[in-house]
């Protein structure tokens, strides 16, 4: 059987793949067992597949479209179970059911059924090492669909970018009765000034169009040698289209009276056109399964940002699941929605693969 031969996958087999992937824990950095189960799904159906140097599941075939989603999840132990309500609705509970093993499994099934290319990437929830390796290791496909929860009727065309940094400051130790600010106060004052710079005056401005400034960790106190007071803060900024990481860095550094910032490599924002062949294929496919297409912009960041920054091809993000349940303690996926997403992805892949 050729690497791109089409193989039918029953709904039972598709749901079993999903359940298996959700059952196998795969927090970032510990994805291998789950990746091997995913690779076995392709091997059992005659597809060429391997795990690359960083652990991505690579199943190349017809590059008219590349379906890709992430194998890793955030930490969290949610007992895996299927709940039925007696009216034909079934929900699969478990960490990763929505973000993003629902999209991942649906894409694997669609790739096998249509013979298009597939990659399950690692590390999306931390450093996106899988996506970064992928864009360095291969060229652009003709079109790309990234897997994240959008709901079976939703298609995501935009994400804000991401910039992270660590601020550090140190002052000489002194008795706490003295009025001079210590490093902890310096750090607190700096962050308050930064927040004020990005405070949105217009309450009607959508969050997608704002810079969001967020501290994610803060530490401080007397150093081990007792001679200084030290403080540090890990901070993150979401970058809307129209803004750049360089502009945000300049604003933040403009509030530095003391200390310094170590910046990480930024991820640019992305906003794809709704008139692309990928967006059109999704709208048609969603209507064919009885849905009402919705075009979305997400306030977070995904691997699509990285793909769009390197590859010049039309793309969108799609997958079953309610994104409000991302990382949540009650994460669960409607299995009927999963079935519909498989149908939509199969339809989209067939449309984009047409000569």
Using DSSP's 3-state secondary structure scheme, residue 320 falls into: coil
> Rounded CA gap, 333 and 340, in Å?
12
> Rounded CA gap, 186 and 66, in Å?
49
72 as an active site residue: the answer is: yes
What length is written for the chain?
Answer: 355
Judge whether 162 and 125 are in contact, CB under 8 Å: no
Residue in 31, 62, 63, 72 annotated catalytic = 72
H or E element, residue 23:
helix 11-23
Instruction: Compute how many other C-beta atoms are within 10 angstroms of the C-beta atom of residue 306.
Output: 22
What CA–CA distances, in Å, run from 346 to 62, 110, 172, 239, 266?
Answer: 14, 5, 64, 33, 34
> Rounded CA gap, 278 and 284, in Å?
10
225 as an active site residue: the answer is: no
Residue in 124, 322, 331, 337 annotated catalytic = 124
> Rounded CA gap, 15 and 333, in Å?
11
> Rounded CA gap, 53 and 134, in Å?
10
Strand 154-159 relative to strand 294-298: parallel, antiparallel, unpaired?
Answer: parallel
Strand partners for 68 = 119, 146
Active-site residue numbers?
A: 72, 124
């Amino acid at each position: 059987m050729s690497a791109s031969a089409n193989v039918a996958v029953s709904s039972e087999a598709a749901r079993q793949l999903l359940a298996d992937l959700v059952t196998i824990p795969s927090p970032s950095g510990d994805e291998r067992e789950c990746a091997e189960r995913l690779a076995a799904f392709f091997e059992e159906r005659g597809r060429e597949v391997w795990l690359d140097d960083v652990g991505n599941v690579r199943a190349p075939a017809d590059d008219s479209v590349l379906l890709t989603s992430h194998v890793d999840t955030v930490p969290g132990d949610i007992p895996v179970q299927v709940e039925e309500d007696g009216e034909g609705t079934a929900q699969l509970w478990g960490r990763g059911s929505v973000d993003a093993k629902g999209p991942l499994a649906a894409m694997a099934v669609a790739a096998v059924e249509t013979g298009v290319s597939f990659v399950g990437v690692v590390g999306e929830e931390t450093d996106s090492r899988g996506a970064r390796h992928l864009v360095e290791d291969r060229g652009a496909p003709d079109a790309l669909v990234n897997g994240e929860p959008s709901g079976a009727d939703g298609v995501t065309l935009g994400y804000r970018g991401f910039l992270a940094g660590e601020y550090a400051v140190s002052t000489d130790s002194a008795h706490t009765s003295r009025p001079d600010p210590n490093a902890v106060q310096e750090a607190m004052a700096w962050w308050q000034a930064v927040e004020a710079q990005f405070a949105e005056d217009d309450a009607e401005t959508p969050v997608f169009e704002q810079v969001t400034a967020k501290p994610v960790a803060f530490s401080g106190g007397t150093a081990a040698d007792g001679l200084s007071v030290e403080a540090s803060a890990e901070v993150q900024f979401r970058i809307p289209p129209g803004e750049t990481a360089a502009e945000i860095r300049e604003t933040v550094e403009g509030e530095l009276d003391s200390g310094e910032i170590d910046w990480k490599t930024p991820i640019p924002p992305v906003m794809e056109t709704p008139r692309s062949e990928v967006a059109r294929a999704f709208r048609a496919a969603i209507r064919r399964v009885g849905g009402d297409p919705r075009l979305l912009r997400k306030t977070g960041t995904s691997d699509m940002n990285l793909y769009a920054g390197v590859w010049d091809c039309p793309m969108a993000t799609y997958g079953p699941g309610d994104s409000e349940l991302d990382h949540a303690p009650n994460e669960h996926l409607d299995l009927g929605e999963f079935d519909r997403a498989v149908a939509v992805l199969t339809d989209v892949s067939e449309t984009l693969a047409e000569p």
